[in-house]
Amino acid sequence: MAATSSQEKKKLYKCVLCNTEGLGNFVYISHIKSKRHLKNLKDRNLPQPNDESNRTIQVTGFKLTPEDDVIQVFLKYGVRLVTRTQSAITIEFHSAEGASKALEDQHHCRGIRLHTSPIKFKRHNAGRSSVPVSPRTWSHLRNHATGNSLNQLIYDLISDLEIKFNEYEKREYLTKLMVRFLTPHFPKVIAHMFGSSANNLGFTGCDVDLYVDLGVYPWDPGYTRGESQTYASNLTWYLAREIRKSRRGVQVQAVPRARVPIVKFQETSTGLFVDLSFRHNMPVYNTKLIFQYTKTHSLVRPYMMIIRCWAKIQNIAGGGEPSWLITNYALSLMMLFYLMYRNDPIIPSVASLKLLPLCHNGPYVVDGWDCSFSDDVGMWIKKHHNASVIHIVAEFFEFFSDLDASEWVISPYAGRLFKKADIKRKDLKHLPNCMLPYCQQNTDIQLNTPFCVQDVFELSHNCTRGLKKGPLTEFQYKCKVAAQISRNVSMGTQSLSDLLEVTEVTPAVLENIVEEERVTKKGVVSDQEVITLDDSSASQDSVEILDVTGNDDSSTEEEEVIPVSMKLLAALDNSVRARQSSSCENGSVKCSDEEQIIMNTSDSEVEVLATADKLDEEVSVIGEMKATPPTSSSAHAAENGLSENDMDLSIGPREFAESVPEKRPLKYVLNFEDIPEFSITFDGAVSGCNNVMNSDDDIAQAACSLTHFVLQQCLKVEVSVMEDFLGSKKRKNFENEEDIDSAKRLKTENGESVSVATKYRRLAQYKCTAEVQLWVGRKKVTKTVPRAVNATPLQHELAITEVQLESQDSCKCPIPIDCLIEVWQKCNNSTYILLTGKSLSENTSVKGNVIQMYSYLTSLVQNLLKKVTQHVHATSTKR
């Protein structure tokens, strides 16, 4: 017991949010009670956990015992935050499991028994109670359904949510009452409903947004800015005072300093809550536009109602209170934008509507902005789309979960994404002609925000300017979770009720986000560096250098695996200094320039696969390259019948800098285990079945076809086929003369002695020339290109390539890249495919670009192999 207590005292703690570690008991207690820790917990640039009720307990009965001693008793459960009242201590833990365990156990401090009890927090405006859905409908939503049955559940949900006819009548009556009340004060008054009450997307019981044209306008150009603010403020207070005096409303609240001053109150005769504004009637036109879009196609309204319901339950959208939430209007614009932006648009952009003949008098100019649009959408109403409501909902979540919001402006006006830099320049060379009204304005849209959604009429207005980074990150995290659930709902493996559950943001999720941001800041890469795919299991960490000599037998710990580009940079300095001090012998190259690249080439065919067994240890079968822990060279040599000098494949970053060979191709492993039978064509078509690909020739053909497709079709590399796959009979076994001369041979299971090199055979050899670097910045372009309905993963990649080629940002190589890419197959394991590459140029710049190209090539091939597998399984199941 004493030993256990001693171990607890010696335990060190860390705080991920505050980036501190190695803290002892009382130092950690002081830290979690500090202002700095509390400030970081409440940082609005980070998502806020929403599961406090499950992680918080109250401790009582400690009498005069020091607070720190009481807290120390609970440290072993993972304390996150402590607050003290006169007679109790509230402790928040890192996990619900820790809180549960703390409640179950008995605790004593200085001989006094401590009493623990759970604490429940009420979360306002969140959860299922925040939406008007009946218990009967909730029970129906728990059923797993697909097709028409799922659509019926969606319409039942909407039937509960939507504003009923009698509510519309009550709201119209309220509008007339307010006109009648204001007429003695403002004889020319006119009132219009806008927002959720009038845009066909409102929930039953929602507030009434009312615009009143009072016949006076505080923002007249004849006033200065200060005079306008004073006039508007006085008018706001006057309206609030008159409403309160007449008892037309209760709970009256004036908000005079807002961008749009409003008076909030509850109307006495109807009981409805009202937001009264008087600045201008642009919101009325916004409402009419959204209403028209909901009628443009039968898919639009159900899709928007489900997402609004989901956002309400998740407490990530609302009427602007608190101010860091996404407003309902901004969320509506985001939903409409995706319907315009997807590969098969369901609605036209606002700019497109402006080009059609107006079916009513116009244009309508409000505050200098044209708010007119055509209601001629007949062709869109009749259009057929091969998508269901839940599929489009899933696409929306996927799009916004992956969007790099810091780089783009979302423009429902144009139906496109624009780079913030292009919007800032206001240059029509980088913007479409429809953006001319914005370019002609003197006012700029606010771009220094985490998220930017451009208004459909007032193009200089950012509708999400108040959104903080934390709520945005929370929104994207919840979108990511919802996207997976939506896909499962469409397949019938989860219910619609699961989608409408609150997504918990736990401290563990928060800490992962913080760690990822720190890693990103430490490893920031410029646009000119190679970007690997987000969802690929392969990355730059998978790219290694072959045939490097030197071991450090004194090292006992596994070296850290780092990307090849970082290894090259780390090794470059030491290598150059060593070579500058003395000339290299045995034909090695002397470096006199720090720009000398590490990877040198030779005229020989291949310098790869020195020992197959060592390669097996260094390369995992799932395609991720791992640095092998240094072991005893003599022991390994004895095991394989080799001398110590032959062992040259296993090195760490330190040894890499000390031993820079002249010849070292790049290597990467693809795993074709449990891959279904498939074939591809150069137009991106994929065909196949669920049968596992077992034939050596089939695997070899698939590997060569996929590699050739990525090189020539996706990256637009000019490929000269030096050697192509011809089948087992004509395939040549790779034999390295140096290996034969050095008598490196191994015994097989039947006792035969074979050359190490014959364990691999080359399938194909491609001489590649690249004039454009499509691998540079491709990740960003990928996120802006929606996937077409029924498109294969390969066809989607071709669409990304087309967008890159059309873009002015596509990078041309200063010097054409020449390299050699080869495909290899292991003789005794046909699912083990190896890609190697090397530069054919002595130019140091070209060699660096080859490394970038090869890194993205291998990452993309691995990623497409995974997606093609999923595509074949999905299409085969449907058939």
Alpha-carbon dihedral of residues 850, 853, 858, 862, nearest 10 degrees?
180
- Residues 6 or more apart whose CB falls under 8 angstroms from that of 574 comprise 657, 658
* Cα–Cα distance measured from residue 835 to residue 386, given in angstroms and rounded to the nearest whole number: 39
Query: Which three-class secondary structure state does DSSP give residue 212?
Result: strand
Q: Is the pLDDT of residue 539 over 50?
A: no
* Cα–Cα distance measured from residue 673 to residue 861, given in angstroms and rounded to the nearest whole number: 15
Beta bridge partners of 410: 417, 453
Q: Is the pLDDT of residue 227 over 90?
A: no
pLDDT band of 728, cuts 50, 70, 90 = low
pLDDT band of 550, cuts 50, 70, 90 = very low
Please give the structure tokens belonging to residue 8: 């607890």
* Cα–Cα distance measured from residue 359 to residue 199, given in angstroms and rounded to the nearest whole number: 20
Angle (CA) 481 483 486, round 5°: 110
Mean pLDDT of the chain: 77
Residue 620: name the closest of 579, 684, 549, 670 by CA. Answer: 670
* Cα–Cα distance measured from residue 580 to residue 664, given in angstroms and rounded to the nearest whole number: 21
* Cα–Cα distance measured from residue 434 to residue 428, given in angstroms and rounded to the nearest whole number: 9
303 CB neighbour count, 10 Å cutoff: 27
Q: Is there a contact between 803 and 784 (Cβ–Cβ < 8 Å)?
A: yes
pLDDT band of 362, cuts 50, 70, 90 = low
Q: Is the pLDDT of residue 504 over 50?
A: yes
Residue 573, judged by CB atoms within 10 A of its CB (0-12, 13-18, 19+), counts as exposed
Q: Is the pLDDT of residue 656 over 50?
A: no
pLDDT band of 180, cuts 50, 70, 90 = very high
Q: Model confidence over 738-753: pLDDT tens digits?
A: 333 334 455 555 555 5
Residue 517, judged by CB atoms within 10 A of its CB (0-12, 13-18, 19+), counts as middle
pLDDT at 842: 80
**What angle separates helix 67-74 from helix 25-32, to the nearest 10 degrees?**
100
* Cα–Cα distance measured from residue 569 to residue 567, given in angstroms and rounded to the nearest whole number: 5
Residue 607: name the closest of 564, 667, 653 by CA. Answer: 667
* Cα–Cα distance measured from residue 326 to residue 566, given in angstroms and rounded to the nearest whole number: 40
pLDDT at 243: 94
Residue 243: name the closest of 217, 262, 229, 216 by CA. Answer: 262
Please give the structure tokens belonging to residue 678: 């498939």
* Cα–Cα distance measured from residue 18 to residue 39, given in angstroms and rounded to the nearest whole number: 10
Q: Is there a contact between 682 and 713 (Cβ–Cβ < 8 Å)?
A: yes
pLDDT at 645: 35
Catalogue the E-assigned strands of 672-737.
676-680, 686-692, 718-723
* Cα–Cα distance measured from residue 856 to residue 804, given in angstroms and rounded to the nearest whole number: 15
pLDDT band of 518, cuts 50, 70, 90 = low
Q: Is the pLDDT of residue 605 over 60?
A: no
pLDDT at 695: 82
* Cα–Cα distance measured from residue 478 to residue 464, given in angstroms and rounded to the nearest whole number: 18
pLDDT at 418: 95
pLDDT band of 360, cuts 50, 70, 90 = low
Higher pLDDT, 4 or 836: 836
Q: Model confidence over 780-798: pLDDT tens digits?
A: 888 888 888 788 889 889 9
- For 412-426, 625-639, 710-724, which range has the lowest pLDDT when averaged over its residues? 625-639
pLDDT band of 581, cuts 50, 70, 90 = very low
Q: What average pLDDT score do residues 29-46 get?
A: 82
- For 617-621, 655-659, 838-842, which range has the lowest pLDDT when averaged over its residues? 655-659
Q: Is the pLDDT of residue 585 over 90?
A: no
Please give the structure tokens belonging to residue 257: 């300093």
Highest mean pLDDT among 121-135, 406-420, 555-569: 406-420
pLDDT band of 137, cuts 50, 70, 90 = very high
Q: Look up residue 80 and give its DSSP letter.
A: E
pLDDT at 851: 86
pLDDT band of 615, cuts 50, 70, 90 = very low
pLDDT at 492: 92
pLDDT at 596: 35
Residue 747, judged by CB atoms within 10 A of its CB (0-12, 13-18, 19+), counts as exposed
pLDDT band of 463, cuts 50, 70, 90 = very high
At 254, phi and psi to the nearest 5? -95, 135
